[in-house]
Chains A and B, each alone.
Chain A
Amino acid sequence: MFEPKGAPTRPRPGHEWSDELDDAVRGLASGFLIGIPVVFAVDTWWLGDQIGPLEALFLLGVSYALTLAAVYWIGFRRDLRRGWQYFADALEAMALATLALVAVFWALGQIGDGQPASIAVGRIAVAIAPVSLGVAVANHLLARDASRFDPDRGDATSLRGGWLSDRWRRTVIELAASIAGALFLCIAIVPVDDLSAIVTEVPVRNLPFVILLSLLVTYSVVFAAGFSGEAKRHATPGLLQTPFAETLMAYVAAVMVSLVVLWMFGRLDEDSTLFEMYTKSVLLAFPASMTAAAGRLAV
Chain B
Amino acid sequence: MTTRSRRAASAAEWVTLTLSILIVGALVAVAVMEEQRRQETGGVGVRVTFAADRAEARDGSYYVPYTVRNTGAQAITSAEIWIEVFAEERLVESTEVTVEFLPLQGTQEAVYVTTADPATHEFAARLESLQFP
Contact = CB atoms under 8 A, between A and B. Distances in A.
A278 interface: no
B12 A11 contact: yes
A85 interface: yes
B74 A52 contact: yes
Given A9-B5, A92-B17, A124-B27, A53 B106 contact: no
Interface residues of B, number: 38
B5 A3 contact: yes
B30 to A, nearest CB: 5
A118 B5 contact: no
Given A9-B7, A91-B17, A60 B103 contact: no
B1 A121 contact: no
Given A16-B11, A17-B12, A117-B33, 16 more contacts: A10-B10, A20-B12, A50-B75, A52-B35, A53-B32, A53-B34, A56-B31, A60-B24, A60-B28, A82-B5, A94-B24, A98-B24, A99-B23, A117-B30, A118-B103, A119-B105
Interface in B59-77: 74-75, 77
Nearest to B102: A49
A19 to B, nearest CB: 7
A244 interface: no
B5 A7 contact: yes
Contact of B104 (A10, A24, A116): A116
B133 interface: yes
28 contacts: A2-B5, A10-B7, A11-B7, A20-B13, A46-B101, A49-B101, A49-B106, A50-B101, A50-B133, A52-B35, A53-B38, A57-B31, A60-B27, A88-B17, A91-B20, A91-B21, A94-B20, A95-B24, A98-B24, A115-B106, A118-B34, A118-B38, A118-B103, A119-B104, A119-B105, A121-B34, A122-B103, A124-B27
Interface in B1-59: 1-5, 7, 9-13, 15-17, 19-21, 23-24, 27-28, 30-35, 38
A54 B16 contact: no
A136 interface: no
Interface residues of A, number: 46
Contacts of A115: 106
Contacts, number: 120
Contacts of A162: none
Interface of B: 1-5, 7, 9-13, 15-17, 19-21, 23-24, 27-28, 30-35, 38, 74-75, 77, 101, 103-107, 133
B34 A4 contact: no
Contacts of B21: 91, 95
A125 interface: yes
A182 B105 CA distance: 37
A116 B105 contact: yes
